[in-house]
Amino acid sequence: MSKHLQSIVQIDPDNLVVIPNAIDLKRYDRTLRPDAGTEVRRRFDIAPEQQVGLFLAQDFARKGLKASLHAVAQLRDPAFTLLVVGPDNPAPFQRLANRLGLSRRVVFAGPTDDPYPFYAAANVVLFPSLFDPFGLVPAEALAMGVPSIVSRCCGVSELLTQDHNALIIEDPEDVPALTATLRRALEHATQTRLAKNCLLTRSLFSYDAHLDAMLRLYESRSAIAKSS
């Protein structure tokens, strides 16, 4: 994100500090509501053995739903269901899903003010956003132990580690790459390893880390001011 800002405005890199958003780790604790994911699957008639990909967004187009649908179509895996959640108009994407033969493999769940159970129901989060200054969804998913597929166009990708706690794609519109990454994310060994590492790195997005970064910035700028 800092490189993107530098390409837009003339600014000394030493004067540009990126402090990532924080999330409430207590709210996104997988152990709080152990039956939440099962309840979502039951509500939308998704079998327990199905692999679930979650696409959660306010703006379906900008967050990459088109590419996600094409990737699911190319995946050709009847054991995979894409769960689309958000308040945006689903109609054009429902038509696309139907044209791609995905009417039984994509569920449009509508808006929610409680994403927790949807994270709990998912095996992987799809977030191939075309542009996002940060992207809370992958951070919240990580806190829940759910790995994300994230595009390099998202600021949050700068905090994630490729093949450790996320899978990062360079081009969010590269459907073959997204398909291959999704297929890899659904492999049992990869999914298990990524999920474990997500839980081990939750503190990346803690309020403490956020406040410590702000304090370090304040102290560094204060020291510079005193020395000048």
The mean-pLDDT minimum among 41-55, 144-158, 166-180, 207-221 falls in 207-221
Who has greater pLDDT, 218 or 123?
123
Helices (H), 60-172: 65-75, 91-99, 116-121, 136-143
> Which residues, at least 6 apart from 187, have a Cβ–Cβ distance to it below 8 Å?
none
The pLDDT value recorded for residue 9 is 67
The pLDDT value recorded for residue 7 is 62
pTM of the model: 0.92
Over residues 73-109, the pLDDT tens digits come to 999 999 999 999 999 999 999 999 999 999 999 999 9
With pLDDT > 70 as the criterion, what percentage of the chain qualifies? 94
Please state the rounded mean pLDDT for residues 199-206: 97
The residue ranges of every structural domain in the chain are 2-12+34-227
Over residues 28-54, the pLDDT tens digits come to 999 999 999 999 999 999 999 999 999
The pLDDT confidence band at residue 218, using thresholds 50, 70 and 90, is confident
183/187 Cα distance (integer angstroms)? 7
Q: Compute the 3-state secondary structure of the chain and give helix, strand, coil in percent, each to the nearest 5.
A: 45, 15, 40
Burial readout 76-86 (b: 16 or more C-beta within 10 A, e: otherwise): eeeebbbbbbb
Over residues 102-158, the pLDDT tens digits come to 999 999 999 999 999 999 999 999 999 999 999 999 999 999 999 999 999 999 999
The pLDDT value recorded for residue 127 is 98
The pLDDT value recorded for residue 2 is 60
180/166 Cα distance (integer angstroms)? 14
The pLDDT confidence band at residue 225, using thresholds 50, 70 and 90, is confident
In the numeric block, which tokens belong to residue 101?
């033969």
Mean pLDDT value across the chain:
94
Q: 2-12+34-227: which CATH topology?
A: Rossmann fold (3.40.50)
| Helix (H), strand (E) at residue 109 | strand 106-110
